[in-house]
């Protein structure tokens, strides 16, 4: 019997599995940007997580988005989902820190972070890392302020500006008889530099710009800091209690820079330690937090926690509740995913300029 000429029909196609969208758009109002794992990791770092763990959280969040099959999400939903994922992946402490910082990003006054400490405790490294994790773009070193001022005032006019903070006494013609020369010289330089630093802080407040000030001249009780209604000020002091670790910092500094030898710092090491003791006593007297530094990650994590707490202690707390279980698919009114945590770093949020 001849074969049938009827063409063989292909089998009915099976229902195709839902394919995760290539991009998830995060919307804040009408504007929308693609979800960024890198931006989300930066946002999560504000909770105090190191970069590696923050990126792992961002990857878990991205996977959750794709599993839901959503192609679009709001910024508020994304923050809610990020809170849940952080809680699940690394714990409630970091989830609460994240939520508080996200809430604080909507404040209408700038954040001024004051990082003090004697020479060689790692202030610049901590301040740079802190700025990166909080999205703060303006950092001022008090040593840079001193350098500018010494270009204006000659050695004869203001001798305290023309040497290191631990060596000022050698340039001063007169010192109080009952004062320690190292501390007296240090205080002389601090008062001179504080004039320039105060003006830079004042400018940041007028512009509404977040700012980190770091340096040995950030001394508790000396600088004129803005009132709470004009700015949120987070002050702290970094110390290195272990003398050998502190000494090793100068050796590492010499290896990492071209013209900054360690010999001079080692020769004045006892004076540098004396200034640290003086700063610590002032901090304890004024209620300024003291962060003892042993490792960079631990120090940055503690500093982040102090800054976030100082920024949010005037904000209403997040209502206590257990995060609801995430749905297996997107529901229009379910808080799920939102703005690239958003698409703007917290430190760069625009604010209206205030008048003095």
Only one residue has tokens 């982040």, namely 304
pLDDT tens sequence across 99-147: 888 887 778 899 999 999 999 999 999 999 999 888 899 999 999 999 9
DSSP state of 334: S
Predicted pLDDT of residue 12: 57
Phi, psi dihedral angles at 117 (to 5 degrees): 155, 155
Predicted pLDDT of residue 208: 93
Burial class (CB in 10 A: 0-12, 13-18, 19+), 66: middle
Name the pTM for this structure: 0.75
Q: Is 223 left (phi over 0), alpha (psi -120 to 50) or beta?
A: beta
Only one residue has tokens 């500018």, namely 148
Determine the Cα–Cα distance for residues 26 and 9; give it in Å rounded to an integer.
Answer: 44
Neighbouring residues of 257: CB distance < 8 A, sequence distance ≥ 6: none
Strand partners, 62: none
Q: How confident is the model at residue 345 (pLDDT cuts 50, 70, 90)?
A: very low
DSSP state of 347: G
Domain 111-311: which topology? Rossmann fold (3.40.50)
What is the pairing mode between strands 139-141 and 111-116? unpaired
Predicted pLDDT of residue 50: 85
- The answer to whether residue 86 scores a pLDDT higher than 60 is yes
What is the pairing mode between strands 25-28 and 31-34? antiparallel
Determine the Cα–Cα distance for residues 225 and 220; give it in Å rounded to an integer.
Answer: 10
- The answer to whether residue 95 scores a pLDDT higher than 80 is yes
| Least confident stretch, 156-160, 300-304, 349-353 | 349-353
- The answer to whether residue 48 scores a pLDDT higher than 90 is no
Only one residue has tokens 């600088």, namely 223
Neighbouring residues of 263: CB distance < 8 A, sequence distance ≥ 6: none
pLDDT tens sequence across 258-302: 555 568 888 899 999 999 999 999 999 999 999 999 888 889 989
Strand partners, 139: 212
Determine the Cα–Cα distance for residues 116 and 283; give it in Å rounded to an integer.
Answer: 10
Q: Where are the domains of the chain?
A: 25-106+315-348, 111-311
What is the pairing mode between strands 25-28 and 139-141? unpaired
pLDDT tens sequence across 2-24: 555 555 555 555 544 555 456 88
What is the pairing mode between strands 211-215 and 139-141? parallel
pLDDT tens sequence across 179-202: 789 999 999 999 999 999 999 999
């Amino acid at each position: 019997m001849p074969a049938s000429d009827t063409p063989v029909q292909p089998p009915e196609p099976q229902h195709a599995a839902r394919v995760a969208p290539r991009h998830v758009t995060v919307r804040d109002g009408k504007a929308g940007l693609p979800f960024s794992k890198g931006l989300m990791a930066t946002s999560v770092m504000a909770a105090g997580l190191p970069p590696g763990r923050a990126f792992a959280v961002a990857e878990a969040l991205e996977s959750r988005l794709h599993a839901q099959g959503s192609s679009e999400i709001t910024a508020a939903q994304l923050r809610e989902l990020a809170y849940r994922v952080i809680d699940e992946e690394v714990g409630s402490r970091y989830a609460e820190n994240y939520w508080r910082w996200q809430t604080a990003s909507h404040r209408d006054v700038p954040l001024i972070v004051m990082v003090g400490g004697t020479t060689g405790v790692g202030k610049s490294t901590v301040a740079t890392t802190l700025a990166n994790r909080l999205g703060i773009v303006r950092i001022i070193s008090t040593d840079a302020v001193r350098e500018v001022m010494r270009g204006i005032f000659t050695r004869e006019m203001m001798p305290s500006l023309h040497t290191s903070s631990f060596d000022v006494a050698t340039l001063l013609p007169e010192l109080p008889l009952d004062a320690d020369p190292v501390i007296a010289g240090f205080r002389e330089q601090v008062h001179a530099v504080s004039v320039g630093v105060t003006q830079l802080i004042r400018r940041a407040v007028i512009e509404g710009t977040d700012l980190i000030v770091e340096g040995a001249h950030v001394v508790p009780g000396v600088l004129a800091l803005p009132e709470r209604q004009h700015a949120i000020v987070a002050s702290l002091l970094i110390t290195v209690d272990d003398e050998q670790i502190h000494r090793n910092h100068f050796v590492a500094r010499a290896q990492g820079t071209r013209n900054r030898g360690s010999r001079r710092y080692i020769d004045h090491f006892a004076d540098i330690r004396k200034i640290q003791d003086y700063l610590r006593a002032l901090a304890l007297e004024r209620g300024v937090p003291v962060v003892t530094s042993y490792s960079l990650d631990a120090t940055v994590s503690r500093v982040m926690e102090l800054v976030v707490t100082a920024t949010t202690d005037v904000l209403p707390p997040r209502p206590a509740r257990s995060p609801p279980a995430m749905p297996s698919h997107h529901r229009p009114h379910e808080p799920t995913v939102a703005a690239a945590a958003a698409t703007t770093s917290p430190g760069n949020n625009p604010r209206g300029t205030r008048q003095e």
